[in-house]
Structure 1
Amino acid sequence: MDVIRLHEQTVFIQTSNIYFKKWEVENPRNTIILLHDSLGCTFLWREWPEELAKELKCNVIAYDRRGYGKSDNYTVKRPINYLEQEADILKDLLNYWQIEKPILFGFSDGASVATIFAGMFPNDLELLIIEGVHVLIEPETLKGIVEAENILKTTQIAKALQKYHGDKVYDLYYAWTKTWLSDEHQTWNIEHFIPKITVPTLVIQGEFDEFGSMNQVNAFDKSSGIVEKLIVSNAKHTAHKEQKELVFSTITQFVNTHLHEKMD
């Protein structure tokens, strides 16, 4: 199946202009919403949106959160519940798109937003796919963020990211690292959302994820829905890039299985 239409737009939601891109297919089975990581954006999903659309016969939408990519900058100090705020923005976006029960696929911070959304609005999604999720603060999380900040200071990563985020790079980078390393953020935890999740959930994590241990994955044992897990051998935080074929096939099988069960 070919993607029959590619659409991009900016829409004003709450206090910000939010950029999104949509890959449309004929007679879609559902819509997959992609939620990017702490340094990501729509463009950095690369070929994933189009390939998911073709393989699963679903529309796919990726959007840039506040402060990222082609969306407005977001320089306000982030409160401890800023990811809950992002879940609320996602709810408004779904209303704008007139999508009732999408499939959410979140990566890293995007996975945390997707988890929160699934707990806040358990009847407003069909399936949940999360990779490299953070639901609690661990030493591994903080160590990984300290290393990320060091990379910013000692490499050309800021210059590379300007291609995708323009002059927002330092704002978004330090908003991420300084927020998570702050004293007030050390009590951050979203595990209380997990028992409220009722939909089938696929949890993906790299075997050597530098931002979290298996505690992040095993927290989903308390979900009220079916939970499947994929621990990707020889992969770190970006398992969908490092072991793409395995992750892609697992996701497509998961979606096909549960959409088929619904049709039956």
Structure 2
Amino acid sequence: MNVASQFASVRWSGREDRIEYVHLAPERHDRPLLVFLHEGLGSVAMWKDFPRALCEAAGCRGLVLSRWGYGLSSPRALHERWPVDFMHHQARAFLPAFFEAIDLDTTKDRPWFYGHSDGGSIALIHAAAQPDRVGGLVVAAPHIFVEDLTVASIEKAKDGYVTTDLRSKLARYHADPDSAFWGWNDVWLDPDFRHWDIRALLPQIRCPVLAIQGYDDEYGTMAQVDGIAQAVPGAELLKLDDCGHAPHRDQPAQLMQGVAGFMRRHLTNKTPEFTGASF
């Protein structure tokens, strides 16, 4: 993204972490803010240029962060295991504390979220917990319950981390790749995690929602986004052909067009000066 990372000291749940983040197009102070929440192995750097490109297409500001344990943020302590409800903690405790640490008043500047995979799940939980502090949601390949397909693919990822060069590839995007990988992998393969399910929370969401899923996603099926559509009134779906778990890499043009159009439709009436980019 060619933007230098900043760091915030975030106190949450009895701990204090150094969190990496970047602002995009802050000069668009009168435009909506889009917060990017990465996947289970993501980081600020791993998004590459996608957040900047999407902010340009949608005509908005951006805020990209590496969650605790990822990127240049504080790593997970050696042998520390994430709890089964780690995404609830991230959504309900970490995000409000992070916004406070960077002086973002979400009562006055209600952010939108682009969440990918685990980041999408965290965005959904956060919007259910803070319905008056979220402007809108775009969730790509989110999880709302645990599928056998997901667990099987995460087991394959574990084998790949041990037997291939996956660790060295992740080291390009994380100061401590073991922190990122094993934090994510261990909790998803915990037998107790099979019972993780956020479907009961979804009716509490009050903002516009766009849920995106690829037909070839190895980590989830259409049941995930169909479940969101059933639970959240007015939720829109974008289903993509020839697309796996990362729509921003597999179908970037269709994705950006769909997201920018969705944001324009829901923001034009509320923000007359918002026009976004044309296609």
Instruction: Settle same-fold status: TM greater than 0.5.
Output: yes
Structure 1 gap ranges (5+): none
* 1:82 aligned residue (78, 82, 86): 86
* 2:194 aligned residue (186, 190, 193): 186
More helix by share: 1
- The TM-score normalised by the length of structure 1 is 0.93
Counterpart contact for 2:29–2:61, Cα < 8 Å: no
* 1:8 aligned residue (5, 10, 26): 5
Counterpart contact for 1:25–1:58, Cα < 8 Å: no
Counterpart contact for 2:199–2:231, Cα < 8 Å: no
Q: Displacement, 1:138?
A: 0.8
Structure 2 gap ranges (5+): 273-279
What's the secondary structure of 1:164's corresponding residue? coil
Task: Tell me which of the two structures has the higher relative contact order, counting C-alpha pairs closer than 8 angstroms and 6 or more residues apart.
Answer: 2
For 1:255, the aligned partner's letter is M
Q: Distance in 2 between matches of 1:52 and 1:39?
A: 20
Cα deviation per residue 1:133-160 (whole Å; 9 max; x = unaligned)?
0110111111110111121122111011
- The TM-score normalised by the length of structure 2 is 0.88
Q: Displacement, 1:56?
A: 2.4
Identity of aligned residues (%): 26
What's the secondary structure of 2:202's corresponding residue? helix
Counterpart contact for 2:212–2:239, Cα < 8 Å: yes
What's the secondary structure of 1:165's corresponding residue? coil
Structure 2 counterparts to residues 216-235 of structure 1, below 5 A = 216-235=224-243
Counterpart contact for 2:58–2:259, Cα < 8 Å: no
* 1:163 aligned residue (169, 172, 175): 172
For 2:38, the aligned partner's letter is H
Runs ≥4 residues deviating over 6 A: none
For 1:165, the aligned partner's letter is H
Cα deviation per residue 1:108-164 (whole Å; 9 max; x = unaligned)?
110011011011111111010000101101111111101111211221110111121
Q: Displacement, 1:6?
A: 5.0
Q: Distance in 2 between matches of 1:52 and 1:33?
A: 11
Q: May I ask how many residue pairs the two structures share in their alignment? A: 260
Q: What is the RMSD computed on CA atoms of the aligned residues?
A: 1.8
Q: Distance in 2 between matches of 1:26 and 1:164?
A: 28
* Residue equivalent to 1:174: 182
